[in-house]
Amino acid sequence: MKRINWNTLSEAERDAVLARPVQSRAEDLRRGVEQIIGEVRAKGDAALRELSARYDHCTLDAIEVSEAEFAAAEAALAPDLKSAIREAAARIEAFHGAAAPQPVGVNTAVGVRVERMLRPIGRVGLYVPAGTAPLPSTALMLGVPARIAGCREVVLCSPARADGTCDEAVLFAARTVGVHRVFKLGGAQAIAAMAYGTQSVPRCDKLFGPGNAWVTEAKLQVSSDPDGAAIDMPAGPSEVLVIADAQANPVFVAADLLSQAEHGPDSQVVLVSPSTTLLDNVAAEVERQCAQLPRSGIAEQALAQSRLIEVTSLLQALEVSNRYAPEHLILQVSGARDLLAGVESAGSVFVGAWTPESVGDYCSGSNHVLPTYGYARSYSGVSVASYQKQITVQELDPNGLRAIGPCTATLAAAEQLEGHRRAVTLRLAALGVRL
């Protein structure tokens, strides 16, 4: 990990230090995804089979997972894993249910009622990656809020293995949280199928879930097409920023950094601390622990893009964090909760020495589908609200129109919209009110 003293850098150098590993959408990637989307739109299921053979090296007879495959997946899983999936789902449901938006009704004036109604998005498409490892936890994170929101149909795509089957734990998790249909599809072709529909895959209104650069690019392309589908958020490789003080345990800090570094070679981890001793100790501990990981090769590639940043204070550490806007922010400092007031931009925050990021990935109850690449400045993680439409309603009686009609007419006249003004004044005249 590269060691940096923040206070010796110019503003341009600070921007460079906090840059993600990939800063632009490569033209060849854009064109490649565009071609895949075009093939799926033109040839439907035939293209999906061809692309699965090309990229996932599997032959798909049936694109959709059958009931027999769901049953086989459940039978194949160890009881303790099934129990853990159910336990995690219950905890995610408890938090997301409590945090779900509620209908609102307010009388803004006498005779003026304004309300907000909540309606679920009709059909949603969930993407669960399975590149370097299957992610049943993502099926939980996406499926639980969709169920709470009441979406009419929930579709899920996850890449097939070489034998043409999906991961058993992903299938069990999907069935546990009430996903209606699962398709053995991955990559940009899965996103295209859910966005535009094929003979087998139904067209979805909004797409959710993380993925590699191809999946991310596909989501961006379909979301910018009026005929495509909305998406949850722009997203990229996983990342974590840890703020730690001299009292932090370097073993814990190193473990947290490596838990994200092992996600993929393009993941990024950042440690910010005012303690040179802590930075030294963590650097040594990262090297020691990394050698013990089964995915050490992947972690080492991610660490090459990562940073150890020395600052003068915890306040300055927060400034660095807010500038970076991390997907995951870990506060390994004394009195960690006191720093929360200074956190402006982060996908999810983990407070104190006993809160590893891993619990949020699996079963604390929060959601692990979060904004990356600095999008935490303007986006939030997936929640029940992500699966809902908020519709406002207003109703006036005659007294209400008398109360707010003159205000409406004055503002309409100021904007030179005479039709707007007359829609009010004609009604007021019928009530005997002249402006």
pLDDT for position 25:
61
When pLDDT is cut at 50, 70 and 90, the band that residue 266 belongs to is confident
As given in the structure block, the two tokens for residue 4 are 């940096």
Q: Are residues 19 and 77 in the same domain?
A: no
C-alpha torsion sign, points 349, 297, 217, 369: negative
Span 165-197, pLDDT tens digits: 999 999 999 999 999 999 999 999 999 999 999
Q: Which tokens go with 341?
A: 């007031």
Is the residue at 74 inside a domain?
Answer: yes
| Average pLDDT of every residue of the chain | 96
Please check whether residues 256 and 405 belong to one and the same domain: no
**pLDDT at position 27:** 87
Looking at 213, 231, 249, the residue that finishes a domain is: 231
Bridging pattern class, strands 112-120 and 104-109: antiparallel
pLDDT at 23 over 60: no
| Domain shared by 369 and 278, yes or no | yes
CA 207 – CA 123 distance, rounded (Å)? 9
Within-domain flag for 37: no
Q: Specify binding-site residues for substrate.
A: 238, 260, 263, 328, 361, 415, 420
Per-residue pLDDT, 22:
65
- Residues 223, 327, single domain; the answer is no
Sheet holding 181-183, edge to edge: 181-183, 153-157, 123-127, 206-208, 230-231
- Residue 394: its H or E element: strand 388-396
Given a contact cutoff of 8 angstroms between Cβ atoms, the answer to whether 283 and 307 are in contact is no
272 and 160 in a common domain: no
Q: Which of these is catalytic: 217, 239, 262, 327?
A: 327
Tokens (6 digits) for 178: 């009430």
Q: Which two tokens stand for residue 144?
A: 């639980």
Name the CA dihedral angle for 45, 46, 50, 53, rounded to a multiple of 10 degrees: 60
Query: Within this chain, do residues 183 and 65 fall inside the same structural domain, yes or no?
Result: yes
Whether residues 15 and 65 fall in one domain: no
Task: Give yes or no: residues 170 and 122 share one domain.
Answer: yes
Q: What range does the domain containing 411 cover?
A: 397-430
Q: Is residue 54 part of a domain?
A: yes
Residues annotated within the binding site for Zn(2+) are 260, 263, 361, 420
Catalytic residue check, 327: yes
Number of structural domains the chain divides into: 3
Q: One of 328, 357, 368, 395 is an active-site residue; which one?
A: 328
* Confidence grade of residue 212 (pLDDT, cut at 50, 70, 90): confident
Helix (H) or strand (E) holding 176, with range, is helix 168-176
Asked if the structure places residue 31 within a domain, the reply is: no
Looking from the CA of 431 toward its CB, the CA atoms found within 13 Å total 16
Angle at 43 between CA 42 and CA 49, to 5 degrees: 140
- Decide if pLDDT at 220 tops 80: yes
Report pLDDT for 418. 98
The per-residue DSSP string of 253-286 comes to HHHHHHHHHTT-TT-EEEEEES-HHHHHHHHHHH
Widest CA span of the chain, in angstroms? 84
Q: Is 282 left (phi over 0), alpha (psi -120 to 50) or beta?
A: alpha
Which residue's structure tokens are 């009441």?
A: 150
CA 396 – CA 113 distance, rounded (Å): 6
Find the mean pLDDT for residues 382-387.
Answer: 98
Task: Give Cα separations from 245 to 17, 261, 309, 331 (angstroms).
Answer: 21, 21, 12, 9
Residues 199 and 50 reside in one and the same domain: yes
Domain-terminating residue out of 231, 261, 284? 231
pTM of the model: 0.93
The answer to whether residues 369 and 211 touch, using CB atoms and an 8 Å cutoff, is no
- 430's enclosing H/E stretch is helix 418-430
Q: Are 240 and 312 part of one and the same domain?
A: yes
CA proximity to 212, closest of 193, 230, 186: 186
Residue 109: inside a domain, yes or no?
no
DSSP H or E run through 349: strand 348-351
CATH code of 247's domain? 3.40.50.1980
The two structure tokens encoding residue 288: 């020691």
- Residues in binding site for NAD(+): 127, 189, 212
Residue 105 has pLDDT above 70, yes or no: yes
Token pair of 412, please? 């309409």
Integer Cα distance of 38 and 46 in angstroms? 13
Residue 292 belongs to a domain: yes
Q: End of a domain among 181, 213, 231?
A: 231
Same domain assignment for residues 133 and 201: yes
What pLDDT is recorded for position 14?
96
* 79 pLDDT more than 70: yes
Distances (CA, A) of 319 to 243, 278, 347: 11, 19, 16
The residue type found at 329 is: L
Q: For the segment 269-280, what is each residue's pLDDT rounded down to a tens digit?
A: 999 999 999 999
Annotated catalytic, 96?
Answer: no
Annotated binding site: 127, 189, 212, 238, 260, 263, 328, 361, 415, 420
**399-421 tens-digit pLDDT:** 999 999 999 999 999 999 999 99
Residue 406 included in any domain? yes
Report the alpha-carbon distance of residue 346 to residue 341 in Å, rounded.
12
Q: Helix (H, G, I), strand (E, B), or coil: what is residue 50?
A: helix
- Compute the distance between CA of residue 258 and CA of residue 238 in angstroms, rounded to an integer: 12
Rg of the chain taking only CA atoms, in angstroms: 25
What sign results for the dihedral spanned by CA atoms 61, 65, 68, 74? positive
Distance (Å, whole) CA 23 – CA 237? 12
24: pLDDT strictly greater than 60? no
Q: Give the pLDDT mean for 113-127.
A: 98
Asked, for residue 402, whether it belongs to a domain, the answer is yes
141, 144, 148, 153: CA torsion to nearest 10: 100
pLDDT of residue 134: 85
Q: What's the pLDDT score for residue 264?
A: 86
- pLDDT, position 20: 85
Q: Are the C-beta atoms of residues 404 and 385 closer than 8 Å to each other?
A: no
With 90 as the cut, is the pLDDT of residue 94 above it?
yes
Instruction: Clarify whether residues 187 and 152 are in a common domain.
Output: yes
- CA nearest to 207, candidates 221, 219, 215: 219
